[in-house]
Amino acid sequence: MDMHTRLREARERAGYADAASAARRFGWGETTYRSHENGQRGFKLDKAVQYGRAFRVSPEWLLLGKGDDLKKPVSLVGYVGAGAEVFAIDDGGALDELEPPPGIGPDAVAVGVRGDSMFPRYMDGDILIYDRHIFIDQADGQECVVGLMDGRKFVKIVRAEPDGTVTLESWNAPPMRRMEFEFLAPILWVKRKP
C-alpha cells in the first residue's frame, strides 16, 4: 500500500465520504488535497503531520506504512470542578476512553465536568477535549486548559499580559492575575452528555 492509498484509507475511516468534504472541513485546498490522495503529487512530513492529526493516525504510517494506523481513542484523564480546577489522575492512565470527534489529533485527552460551578458555559457531565499546546499570543482570548508552574491546572479564558504572564478569567469566579504558566491548550471540542 502506498502513501496515497493510506491517506485515502485514513480519510475514509475518519468518516469523510470524499476528498472534497475532508478538504472543506479542515480548510485545505481541495485540488492540492485531492492530488495527494489520488497519487498525482507526493506529500512531505509537514502535510503528513497535518493529515495525521485530522484523521488520527501517525504521520509515519501515512508516509512510510510504519507505526500506528489505528484510530486512537481519546483518554479521559481527569475532572474539572469547583473553581474550574482540573483534577487529573497522576498515574498516566485513563478513567475512560472516548470515540474521537473529527479533526482531533492523536495526542488529545479529555476532562469531564463535575458539578455546576462552570454553568452556564459547561454543565455537569460535559466532556472537554484538548490536545496541542499553543503560544501565549495564540491563546489570548481563548478558553484553555492552563497548566500553572505550581502544578495546578484550570479551565479558564486566557488574557496575555505584557510581562509574559497571563490573567485567567472564568464565568463565575474572580480573575487570577499575573499567573506563570507551563502550558496553554485550547478546548477543541465539547461533548455534551446525552
pLDDT one-digit tens code per residue, 167-188 = 999 878 899 999 999 999 999 9
Count other C-beta atoms under 10 Å from residue 65's C-beta. Answer: 13
pLDDT in tens, 71-82: 678 889 999 987
Domains present along the chain, CATH in parentheses = 3-64 (1.10.260.40), 74-191 (2.10.109.10)
Partners of 179 in the beta sheet?
Answer: 166
Query: Does the pTM exceed 0.85?
Result: no
In sequence order, which ranges of 40-162 are alpha helices (DSSP H)?
A: 45-55, 59-64, 136-139
Count other C-beta atoms under 10 Å from residue 88's C-beta. Answer: 16
Looking at the chain, the whole-number percentage of residues with pLDDT higher than 70 is 94
